[in-house]
């Protein structure tokens, strides 16, 4: 069920609003993320709010086919909606789209989960939706790769009490954000200081919400540094996930599962979910990733898979009911 930017179609009152910001290039990867969500949560009652640049109606329909019964709200970003942003490494202008949710999400959207397009859910998203924000406007997981003390020193902020947040998974109280104009302040920060920021959207959100956001359990945003053993060995135990099953796998950094270069232990899971979309062959051909390489991803994961995870949940992820494992993965 589509809901265009005029808001002509209303969804059920007890819906969950989930937002993405994406480009044409990243749209198929977003579809894999949507496939992972509806794997554990029934599509009915979900509304996907997609802020995008130039995704055709034909491709929109292909993405909607991944979650039949869900509502989709498509909003094209104009040149005046967000500041211009100079692409850096694997970052581009769509990373700023989350900062426009207060203006561009439907007016009846009062609370929203924002997700990056390079992540996958491994649990029912209703668990995340039920989070009590405790009076804060924003909830997130810390970014394990950023030293909050250095950030505070650079921007002359108070001593960090909750660290530096990663903007890939956010729970946002849009009512409060709109009233406080906090996203507008973040957008202003990008406009004035974007050239000084390594992570424009994250730096802006951290500056505006410094020491005033709710910390989520790390399992809701397991970043690359948390899941690769060679990288996570220096982290606190609660941030290490090579022996635990995360609720969200976030493919942070330039090494993505759809590229043949680099390694991520959960790369096979991306291919498991992209197979549930119309884009699997397109992405495999573009990244030159054949069945043999996908099999290698999976076998490497089997060798090092989490040992303290829920057995029933692990079976849900690996072996979907009524389908053979090899058919789903490869």
Q: Which residues of 135-162 are buried (b: 16+ CB within 10 A; e: fewer)?
A: ebbbbbbbbbbbebeebbeeeeeeebeb
Which of 218, 252, 283 represents a domain boundary (last residue)?
A: 218
Structural domain includes residue 212: yes
Q: What pLDDT shows up at residue 126?
A: 97
Which of 164, 183, 218 represents a domain boundary (last residue)?
A: 218
> Are 214 and 310 in the same domain?
no
Residue range of the domain that includes 261 = 232-329
Structural domain includes residue 223: no
Structural domain includes residue 227: no
Q: What pLDDT shows up at residue 184?
A: 95
Q: What does the longest C-alpha to C-alpha distance in the chain come to?
A: 57
| Domains held by the chain: number | 2
> Are 45 and 9 in the same domain?
yes
Which of 218, 249, 282 represents a domain boundary (last residue)?
A: 218
> Are 154 and 278 in the same domain?
no
Structural domain includes residue 295: yes
Backbone angles phi, psi at 13, to 5 degrees: -60, -35
Backbone angles phi, psi at 223, to 5 degrees: -85, 165
pLDDT, one tens digit for every residue, the chain (330 residues): 555 554 434 444 689 999 999 999 999 999 999 999 999 999 999 999 999 998 999 999 999 999 999 999 999 998 888 766 655 554 567 889 999 999 999 999 999 999 999 999 999 999 999 999 999 999 999 998 999 999 999 999 999 999 999 999 999 999 999 999 999 999 999 989 978 888 889 999 999 999 999 999 999 999 999 998 888 888 888 898 877 889 999 999 989 999 988 789 999 999 999 999 999 999 999 999 998 888 888 888 887 776 554 444 455 555 543 444 444 444
Q: What pLDDT shows up at residue 170?
A: 98
> Are 180 and 324 in the same domain?
no
> Are 302 and 182 in the same domain?
no
> Are 80 and 177 in the same domain?
yes
Q: Enter the pTM of the model.
A: 0.89
> Are 183 and 320 in the same domain?
no
> Are 147 and 287 in the same domain?
no
Structural domain includes residue 258: yes
Q: What pLDDT shows up at residue 275?
A: 96
> Are 73 and 207 in the same domain?
yes
> Are 126 and 27 in the same domain?
yes
Q: What pLDDT shows up at residue 78?
A: 87
CATH of the domain at 60: 3.90.550.10
Structural domain includes residue 145: yes
């Amino acid at each position: 069920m589509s809901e265009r930017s005029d808001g002509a179609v209303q969804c059920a009152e007890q819906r969950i609003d989930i937002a993405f910001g994406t480009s044409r290039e990243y749209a198929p990867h977003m579809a894999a993320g949507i496939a992972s969500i509806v794997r554990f949560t029934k599509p009915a009652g979900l509304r996907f709010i997609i802020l995008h640049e130039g995704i055709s109606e034909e491709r929109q329909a292909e993405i909607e086919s991944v979650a039949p019964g869900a509502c989709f709200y498509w909003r094209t970003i104009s040149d005046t909606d967000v500041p211009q942003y100079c692409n850096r490494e694997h970052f581009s202008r769509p990373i700023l789209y989350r900062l426009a949710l207060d203006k561009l999400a439907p007016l009846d959207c009062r609370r929203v989960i924002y997700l990056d397009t390079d992540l996958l859910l491994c649990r029912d998203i209703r668990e995340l939706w039920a989070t009590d924000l405790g009076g804060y406007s924003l909830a997130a997981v810390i970014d394990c790769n950023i030293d909050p003390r250095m950030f505070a020193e650079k921007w002359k902020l108070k001593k960090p009490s909750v660290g530096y947040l990663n903007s890939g998974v956010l729970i946002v109280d849009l009512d409060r954000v709109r009233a406080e104009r906090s996203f507008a302040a973040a957008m202003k920060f990008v406009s004035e200081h974007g050239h000084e920021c390594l992570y424009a959207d994250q730096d802006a959100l951290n500056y505006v919400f410094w020491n005033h956001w709710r910390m989520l359990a790390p399992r809701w945003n397991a970043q690359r540094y948390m899941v690769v053993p060679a990288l996570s060995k220096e982290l606190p135990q609660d941030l290490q996930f090579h022996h635990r099953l995360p609720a969200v796998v976030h493919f942070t950094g330039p090494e993505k599962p759809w590229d043949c270069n680099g390694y991520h232990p959960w790369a096979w899971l991306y291919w498991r979910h992209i197979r549930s979309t119309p884009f699997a062959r397109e992405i495999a051909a573009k990244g030159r990733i054949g069945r043999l390489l996908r099999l290698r991803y999976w076998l490497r994961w089997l060798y090092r898979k989490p040992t303290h995870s829920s057995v029933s949940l692990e079976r849900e992820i690996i072996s979907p009911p009524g389908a053979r494992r090899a058919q789903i993965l490869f």
